[in-house]
């Protein structure tokens, strides 16, 4: 949450920073701001709302300095106001700061600083940290410390409790910048006579593909020509320079109206990329190169635990079904945010998995660390190379779907479903899944991209349905077995981007309470694929129809519903059960998207949400 960008170089900083903020806006869009050092002072412009509002303000008084920072905010402490927007300037005018995270002990720090004569103009914890840095900076005035700002930041952070990704500058030191992280991502972009720091690669790739991912507890001193990384206790760190494998064009909308629309229609290619090179030569199982666990160790596993948040948790729930179905091993799914605080008994010979598209989700990272602390091996499924989850896990699987900008996850979700199905195959083939069943399974997975393409052909039909249902205030999503988590995901998508209240349930649970909500004003979306429980699902649909509930039915090609049972029908291809959740996700993604567009919602930047949740 929150977007951070800092620039030291030879070109005007403001245009590059503003462009970077546009690419970071999906991380937070309550307010934005920029600070540029010019003519011996900081020029700071801040504005509530989107980056476009900030651009208009900057245009009134052009900023010409080559040294500066920018921020787009997702509010934590303090309301959405110009005063609470970042950057924050210390009351003595010496230090300017941007910050992502939460300083938990800011109250006691503020009381101390008030006794030292520092004043405050905002309600934020960030301004408190900024003044604390200024306090230590003033104390360093007569110090022999070579980098005075660096020393002040280091000393201030030793007193800070909580999480942070920060960038700080001093008015006295043009061309120098200090950045540090703990629990909130920061990335260095290394250029020719310029260096950049940002919270996301998307803000950097327009200028350089060479990056360094900072680790927790690291602090970096930047100038246009060099950088030096140390720990908070002043130990030197040898940087590892990585190369970004995607271009700025991958993070642009192209001809689509929204990033979410683009990413929905990118899913066939994303699925192909996620499975490329990951099947055995005999075509009977999956292969994963980065698990760092032998086949023998896998055979000794007696239980799996998956931890994730939000959409990724729904992918874990589908994976649970697949592993238990095809590998016959017990699986437990847990909210990552709850796992770290619960003291649930853990079984021996358990392997942990965490899923996080960004690899920076703070609750998921905390669950990973808790499992490792208790002596368990943890593997990760993530999309971002170099992310904290990827670095701290014992091994894992990259999704390889490219940048996902829309806040509501689509292509990352279906790739997680695919990887989950591949894991079930991989483990199942080590157990009792036959060669011929494995071949059929692999053939089905390889066919998933084309099945998704066929499902996407329903887009005009689904858009027409969306127009008829955009006025409703409530909606239910109902599915069974592996499609129950897809019902949860469909409800989440609708809530996220259209602000319609929606809930997901197992279809058979309707009788146990939720049926009280049914009326002509509460439509239900049913997943009704062919199979042994189709008649049970039809019975649930009839119970709703008897109570004047409207029904949108998502069925597979061989299904024939009783006449008049469904008010709307969306047909998806028949497919192997391992692929069904992937294909069934497409209609609910499209339905949610088109309903949100019909209601005039800001699809890519839904209210109160941000793409990567990096604060608790």
pLDDT tens column, 513-535: 778 788 888 999 999 999 888 88
pLDDT at residue 610, rounded to an integer:
61
Taking a C-beta distance cutoff of 8 angstroms, is the pair 61, 8 a contact? no
Describe the strand order of the beta sheet including 303-308 as a list of residue ranges.
Answer: 331-335, 303-308, 350-356, 378-382, 395-398
Q: Which residue has the tokens 């700002």?
A: 149
63 shares a domain with 212: yes
Last residue of a domain, one of 233, 250, 267: 250
Q: Report pLDDT for 88.
A: 94
Shared domain for 77 and 143, answered yes or no, is yes
Which of residues 446, 479, 495 is at a domain's end?
A: 446
406 and 518 assigned to the same domain: no
Low-confidence ranges of the chain (pLDDT < 50): none
**Catalytic residue list contains 2:** yes
Residues 218 and 75 reside in one and the same domain: yes
Instruction: Tell me the CATH number at 218.
Output: 3.60.20.10
Give the three-class secondary structure for 44. Answer: strand
Catalytic residue among 2, 149, 307, 309: 2
CATH number of the domain encompassing residue 378: 3.40.50.10490
Give the Cα separation of 415 and 392 in Å (integer): 22
Question: In this structure, is residue 256 part of a structural domain?
Answer: no
Question: Nearest Cα to 525, choosing from 577, 488, 579, 482?
Answer: 488
One domain for residues 148 and 177:
yes
Decide if 507 is inside a domain. Answer: yes
Count, in order, helices (H) and strands (E) of the chain: 19, 25
With respect to residue 262, please indicate whether it lies within any of the assigned structural domains.
no
Tell me whether residue 615 is in a domain. Answer: no
156 within some domain: yes
Which pLDDT score, from 0 to 100, does residue 410 have? 95
Instruction: Using CA atoms of 613, 351, 382, 591 in order, give the dihedral in degrees to the nearest 10.
Output: -70
Instruction: Write out the residue range of the structural domain in which residue 389 sits.
Output: 276-446
Strand-by-strand arrangement of the 88-89 sheet: 88-89, 95-100, 164-170, 177-182, 218-222, 227-231, 236-237
Q: Specify whether 339 is located in the same domain as 361.
A: yes
Full strand arrangement of the beta sheet holding 501-506:
501-506, 474-479, 524-528, 551-556, 568-572
441 with 467, same domain: the answer is no
Where does residue 453 rank: exposed (0-12), middle (13-18), buried (19+ CB within 10 A)? middle
> Contact, 575 vs 555, CB < 8 A?
no
In sequence order, the 6+-apart residues with CB closer than 8 A to the CB of 41 are: 93, 171
- Indicate the residue among 419, 446, 473 that finishes a domain: 446
The reply to whether 402 and 338 lie within a common domain is yes
Active site residue 611: yes
CA distances from 208 to 189, 197, 224, 453, 512 (A): 6, 12, 14, 34, 56
CA 8/CA 178 separation, integer angstroms: 11
pLDDT digit string, tens, across residues 153-165: 999 999 999 889 9
282 in the same domain as 218: no
Task: Please identify which of the residues 22, 94, 411, 611 carries the catalytic annotation.
Answer: 611
Examine residue 268 and state whether it is found in any structural domain, yes or no. no
Q: 483 and 374: one domain?
A: no
Instruction: Clarify whether residues 489 and 568 are in a common domain.
Output: yes
Enumerate residues 6+ apart whose C-beta is below 8 A from 55: 18
Specify whether 441 is located in the same domain as 473. no
Q: How many CB atoms lie within 10 A of CB 115?
A: 7
Assess if residue 616 is contained within a domain.
no
Tokens representing residue 8 in the block: 């030291």
516 in any annotated domain: yes
Report residue 23 as tokens. Answer: 């690419």
Record the tokens describing residue 72, joined without a space.
């787009």
Counted domains in the chain: 3
pLDDT at 590: 97
């Amino acid at each position: 949450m929150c977007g951070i960008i800092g620039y030291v170089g030879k070109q005007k900083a403001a245009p590059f920073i503003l462009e970077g903020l546009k690419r970071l806006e999906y991380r937070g869009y309550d307010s934005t701001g920029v600070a540029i050092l010019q003519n011996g002072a900081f020029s700071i412009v801040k504005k509530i709302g989107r980056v476009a509002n900030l651009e208009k303000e900057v245009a009134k008084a052009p900023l010409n300095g080559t040294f500066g920072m920018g921020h787009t905010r997702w509010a934590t402490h303090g309301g959405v106001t110009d005063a609470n927007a970042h950057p924050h300037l210390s009351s003595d005018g010496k230090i300017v700061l941007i910050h992502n995270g939460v300083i938990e002990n800011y109250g006691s720090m503020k009381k101390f600083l008030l006794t030292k004569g520092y004043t405050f103009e905002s309600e934020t914890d960030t301004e408190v940290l900024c003044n604390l840095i200024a306090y230590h900076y003033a104390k360093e005035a007569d110090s022999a410390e070579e980098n005075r700002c660096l020393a002040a930041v280091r000393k201030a952070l030793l007193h800070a409790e909580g999480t942070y990704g920060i960038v700080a500058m001093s008015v006295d030191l043009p061309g120098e910048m200090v950045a540090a992280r703990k629990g909130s991502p920061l990335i260095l972009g290394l250029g020719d006579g310029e260096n950049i720091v940002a919270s996301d690669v998307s803000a950097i790739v327009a200028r350089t593909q060479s990056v360094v991912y900072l680790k927790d507890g690291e602090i970096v001193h930047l100038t246009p020509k060099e950088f030096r990384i140390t720990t908070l206790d002043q130990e030197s760190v040898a940087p590892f320079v990585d190369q970004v494998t995607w271009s700025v064009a991958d993070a642009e909308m192209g001809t689509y109206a929204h990033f979410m629309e683009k990413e929905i229609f990118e899913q066939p290619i994303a699925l192909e990329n996620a499975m490329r090179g990951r099947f055995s030569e005999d075509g009977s199982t999956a292969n994963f190169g980065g698990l760092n666990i032998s086949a023998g160790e896998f055979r000794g596993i007696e239980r799996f635990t998956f931890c994730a948040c939000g959409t990724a948790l729904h992918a874990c729930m589908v994976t649970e079904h697949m592993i238990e179905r095809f590998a016959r091993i017990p699986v437990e799914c847990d909210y990552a945010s709850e796992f770290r605080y619960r003291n649930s008994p853990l079984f021996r010979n358990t392997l942990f998995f965490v899923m996080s598209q960004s690899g920076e989700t703070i609750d998921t990272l905390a669950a990973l660390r808790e499992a490792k602390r208790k002596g368990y091996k943890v593997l990760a499924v993530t999309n971002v190379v170099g992310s904290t989850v990827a670095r701290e896990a014992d091994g894992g699987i990259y999704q390889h779907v490219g940048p996902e900008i829309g806040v509501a996850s689509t292509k990352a979700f279906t790739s997680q479903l695919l990887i989950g199905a591949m894991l079930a195959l991989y483990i199942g083939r080590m157990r009792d899944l036959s060669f011929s069943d494995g071949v059929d399974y692999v053939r089905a997975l390889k066919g998933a991209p084309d099945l998704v393409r066929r499902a996407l052909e329903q887009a005009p039909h689904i858009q027409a349905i969306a127009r008829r249902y955009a006025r409703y205030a409530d909606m239910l999503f109902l599915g069974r077995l592996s499609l129950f988590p897809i019902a949860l995901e469909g409800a989440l998508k609708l809530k996220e981007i259209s602000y319609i209240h929606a809930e997901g349930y197992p279809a058979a649970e309707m009788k146990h309470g939720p049926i009280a909500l049914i009326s002509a004003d509460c439509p239900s979306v049913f997943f009704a694929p062919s199979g042994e429980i189709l008649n049970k699902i039809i019975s649930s649909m009839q119970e709703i129809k008897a109570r004047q509930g409207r029904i949108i039915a998502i069925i597979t090609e061989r299904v024939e519903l009783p006449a008049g049972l469904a008010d709307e029908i969306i047909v998806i291809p028949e497919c192997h059960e391992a692929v069904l959740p992937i294909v069934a996700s497409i209609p609910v993604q499209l339905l949610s998207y088109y309903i949100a567009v019909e209601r005039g919602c800001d699809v890519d930047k839904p209210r109160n949400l941000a793409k990567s949740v990096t604060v608790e």
